[in-house]
């Protein structure tokens, strides 16, 4: 096969996916629209200057360049219905339809969906009037979680520790949020786990589980500061836990997955195709609750997963294509997360961000990565960068991630931090004015 792929997106997630797919012998060319400074240098990969929401231009590009399959990275085009538009043109695309993508597009929809289908989740109530929300909060215990209904790039969730904080959160989200609805939900204690599946259909539905991941969502160390898209990720500690704990959790997650796919397919009268990310909270007693659904791969989870992902003799492209010939008509079984990560492998992802992120941040400065080790145990995935006169110029809040793989946790974490410290930031293109205050990263990834 000489496959031509278009990946839509410009983050670290899309760089990691392009890098992994470029290793497939079946893939001849990968285009990334619009891509970033990292995909610019990747083997077999070409950046295309088309924005992720310019669907007509993307369709023209696919037709003109005889692209075999388009893979959608970010949520916005999915929620806006890019898959429906490609399907109308009979173009092959991997991602859920607009209807399925409501699981991520509306927190009110997904909460109602979970309750109707008895999928475990925190108790919640939705509000469109400030006064009703405030009255409700007066009776509520703290902390409490307040979520904007629509898409907010991980920034529409506020955990309030007191009544006054929660009041501020309601004022902020109901003013800024275009959808004009919020959810107020009980705070759940525990350890978070991201379970991501590749969902497809070829006569019979199947879901292939990717390794479990622990994501670090808040900006600052020890879960302080505002929520972000994600500041780091590591192989999930439960993957290495005692087998009985692992199985207890796995059974509950599989049940959640099965109910989710079955019910959303019934509701939408069509099959869920694409990545499905289930954000979970695992309590001390190993009870699993759903925090959120995403209809795409996670960022920076993907950067971490792609470094270790080994589907045995199955090519990632075949799973995405629902091309089952190689292993018969029978779909591949859901792969247990414990089987995907060998006990002697641990991966660590630390995100380098621009000062100010997730609020207004610095941009248009330059990075020097020349001090970093060049080894198969380290991979840099870019996000908010472009290449300008051969230099790495910063254009986004999450700039890049340092990803490491090692035989044990301590080594992977140490390697990531040793290397991220070697990155230098400069105000000018000539790299004469060093200014390390332009960048930051969390110091506690892996804890």
Given the complex with ligand GLY, which of 298 and 396 has the nearer CB atom?
Answer: 298
How do strand 3-9 and strand 69-72 relate by DSSP bridges? parallel
Q: How far apart are CA 212 and CA 243, in angstroms?
A: 15
Contact pick of 279, 332, 358, 396 for ligand AMP (by CB under 6 A)? 279
In three-state secondary structure terms, 197 is: strand
Q: Which of 295, 280, 351 has the alpha carbon at shortest distance from 11?
A: 351
Asked if 230 touches ligand GLY (CB under 6 A), the answer is: yes
Query: What stretch of H or E contains 341?
Result: none
Quick one: three-class SS letters along 167-194? HHHHHHHHHHCCCCCEEEEECCCCEEEE
Binding status of residue 298 toward ligand GLY by CB under 6 A: yes
Structure tokens at 217: 């969502």
Q: Which is nearer to ligand GLY, 271 or 301 (CB)?
A: 301
Tell me the pairing of strands 274-282 and 385-388.
unpaired
Q: Is 122 in the site for ligand AMP (CB under 6 A)?
A: yes
From 43-51, 183-191, 237-245, 329-337, give the range in contact with ligand AMP by CB under 6 A: 183-191
Give the number of other CB atoms < 10 A from CB of residue 201. 15
CA distance 23 to 382: 18
Q: Which window, 166-174, 294-302, 327-335, 362-370, contacts ligand GLY (CB under 6 A)? A: 294-302
Interacting residues with ligand AMP between 139 and 158 (CB under 6 A): 145, 147, 157
- CA 68 to each of CA 61, 72, 384, 402: distance values in angstroms, whole numbers, following the listed order: 12, 14, 27, 31
Contact 274, 77 (CB under 8 A): no
Whole-number Å distance between alpha carbons of 1 and 69: 13
- The option from ligand AMP, ligand GLY, none interacting with 145 (CB < 5 to 8 A, set by class) reads ligand AMP
- Residue 37 interaction partner, one of ligand AMP, ligand GLY, none, beta carbon < 5-8 Å per kind: none
Distance CA 332, CA 204 (A): 11
User: Minimum distance from CB of 196 to ligand GLY (Å)?
Assistant: 9
**Nearer Cβ to ligand AMP, position 214 or 379?**
214
Q: How far apart are CA 149 and CA 371, in angstroms?
A: 43
Cβ distance 301 to 348 under 8 Å? no
Told to check if 297 binds ligand AMP by CB under 6 A, we report: no
Q: List the single partner that 298 binds among ligand AMP, ligand GLY, none, CB under 5 to 8 Å by kind.
A: ligand GLY
Nearest distance from C-beta of residue 217 to ligand GLY, angstroms = 6
Nearer to ligand GLY, 293 or 361 (CB): 293
Q: In terms of CB distance, is 68 or 301 closer to ligand GLY?
A: 301
Q: Which listed option, ligand AMP, ligand GLY, none, makes contact with residue 230 (CB within 5 to 8 Å by class)?
A: ligand GLY
Q: Is 229 in the site for ligand GLY (CB under 6 A)?
A: yes
294 near ligand GLY, judged by CB under 6 A: yes
With CB cut-offs between 5 and 8 Å by kind, which of ligand GLY, ligand AMP, none does residue 102 bind? none
**CB under 5 to 8 A by kind: which of ligand GLY, ligand AMP, none does 315 bind?**
none
Write b or e for each residue in 98-125: b if 16 or more Cβ atoms lie within 10 A of its Cβ, otherwise e.
bbbbbbbbbbbbbbebbeeeebebbebe
Site string for ligand AMP, 77-106 (x = CB under 6 A): ------------------------------
299 binds ligand GLY (CB under 6 A): yes
When CB distances are held under 5 to 8 angstroms depending on the partner's kind, the choice from ligand AMP, ligand GLY, none that residue 192 binds is: ligand AMP
3-state secondary structure 3-22: EEEEEEECCHHHHHHHHHHH
Nearest Cα to Cα of residue 183 among 59, 292, 304? 292
265, 204 in Cβ contact below 8 A? no
Q: Where does this chain touch ligand AMP (CB under 6 A) — which range of 168-176, 180-188, 415-423, 428-436? A: 180-188
To ligand GLY, the closest distance from the beta carbon of 291 in angstroms equals 10
Nearest distance in Å: CB 153, ligand GLY? 8
Q: Are 383 and 228 in contact (CB under 8 A)?
A: no
Distance between CA atoms of residues 20 and 303, nearest Å: 10
Our finding on whether 156 is near ligand GLY (CB under 6 A) is: no
Q: Tokens for 116, please give them.
A: 């109707």
Q: Provide, rounded to whole angstroms, the least separation between the CB of residue 381 and ligand AMP.
A: 21
Q: How far is the CB of 397 from ligand AMP (least distance, A)?
A: 17
Sign of torsion, CA 206 208 213 218? negative
- Residue ranges that bind ligand GLY, judged by CB under 6 A: 154, 215, 229-230, 294, 298-299, 301
- Residue ranges that bind ligand AMP, judged by CB under 6 A: 122, 145, 147, 157, 159, 185, 187-188, 192, 217, 227, 279, 291-292
């Amino acid at each position: 096969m000489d496959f031509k792929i278009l990946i839509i997106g410009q983050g670290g997630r899309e760089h990691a996916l392009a890098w992994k797919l470029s290793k497939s012998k079946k893939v001849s060319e990968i285009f990334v629209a619009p891509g970033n400074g990292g995909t610019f240098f990747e083997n077999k990969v070409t950046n295309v200057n088309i924005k992720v929401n310019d669907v007509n231009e993307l369709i023209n590009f696919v037709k003109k360049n005889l692209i075999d399959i388009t893979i959608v990275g970010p949520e916005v085009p999915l929620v806006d219905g890019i898959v429906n538009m490609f399907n109308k043109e009979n173009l092959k695309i991997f991602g859920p339809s607009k209807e399925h993508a409501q699981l991520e597009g509306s927190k009110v929809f997904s909460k109602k969906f979970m309750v109707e289908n008895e999928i475990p989740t925190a108790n919640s109530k939705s509000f469109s009037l400030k006064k009703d929300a405030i009255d409700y909060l007066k009776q509520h215990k703290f902390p409490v979680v307040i979520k904007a209904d629509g898409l907010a790039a991980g920034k529409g969730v506020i955990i309030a520790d007191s009544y006054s904080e929660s009041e501020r959160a309601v004022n902020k989200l109901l003013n800024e949020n275009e959808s004009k609805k919020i959810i107020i939900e009980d705070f759940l204690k525990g350890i978070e786990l991201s379970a991501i599946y590749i969902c497809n259909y070829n006569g019979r539905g199947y879901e292939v589980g990717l390794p479990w991941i622990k994501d670090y969502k808040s900006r600052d160390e020890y879960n302080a500061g505002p929520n972000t898209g994600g500041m780091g990720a590591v192989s999930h500690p439960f993957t290495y836990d005692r087998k009985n704990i692992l199985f207890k959790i796995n059974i509950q997650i599989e049940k959640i997955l099965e109910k989710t796919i079955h019910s959303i397919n019934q509701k939408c009268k069509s099959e869920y195709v694409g990545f499905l990310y289930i954000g979970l909270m695992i309590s001390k007693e190993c009870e699993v609750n759903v925090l959120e659904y995403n209809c795409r791969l996670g960022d920076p989870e993907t950067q971490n997963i792609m470094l270790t992902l080994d589907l045995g003799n199955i090519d990632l492209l075949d799973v995405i294509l629902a091309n089952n010939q190689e292993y018969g008509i029978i779909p591949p079984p859901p792969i247990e997360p414990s089987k995907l990560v060998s006990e002697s492998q641990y991966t660590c992802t630390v995100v380098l961000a621009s000062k100010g992120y997730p609020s207004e941040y610095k941009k248009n400065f330059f990075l020097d990565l020349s001090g970093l080790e060049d080894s198969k145990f380290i991979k840099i995935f870019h996000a908010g960068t472009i290449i300008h006169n051969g230099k790495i110029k910063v254009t986004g809040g999450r700039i890049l991630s340092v990803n490491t793989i090692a035989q044990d946790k301590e080594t992977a974490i140490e390697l990531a931090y040793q290397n991220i410290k070697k990155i230098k930031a400069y105000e000018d293109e000539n790299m004469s004015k060093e200014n390390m205050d332009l960048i930051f990263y969390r110091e506690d990834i892996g804890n």
